[in-house]
Amino acid sequence: MVAINQHRLVPVHTVLTEEETQEMLDNLSITKSELPKILINDPIFNEIEAKTGDVICIDRFSRITGTSKYYRVVVNE
């Protein structure tokens, strides 16, 4: 069986440090509460260590646009 984060259709998920999170929020001029949410029970969290309140960077690849970064904040519900 293949680990979910190793499957070619699952984009790379990375937990940002507090410094990286603050830099990203400052660059985008937003607050953490304005980010889209991802549930802590999402299957990807079986493979990466994240806790409620962490910000996840998702690197999605497109043949047309290349790699794009998407950010999500981890929530319980």
CATH (domain of 33) = 3.90.940.20
Domain that holds residue 51: 4-75
Q: Which tens digit of pLDDT belongs to each residue from 12-56? A: 889 999 999 999 999 999 999 999 999 998 888 777 888 999 999
Q: Is 24 helix (H, G, I), strand (E, B) or coil?
A: helix
Mean pLDDT over each residue of the chain, to the nearest integer = 86
| pLDDT in the model for residue 23 | 96
Cα four-point dihedral sign 23, 28, 29, 31: negative
| Count of domains forming the chain | 1
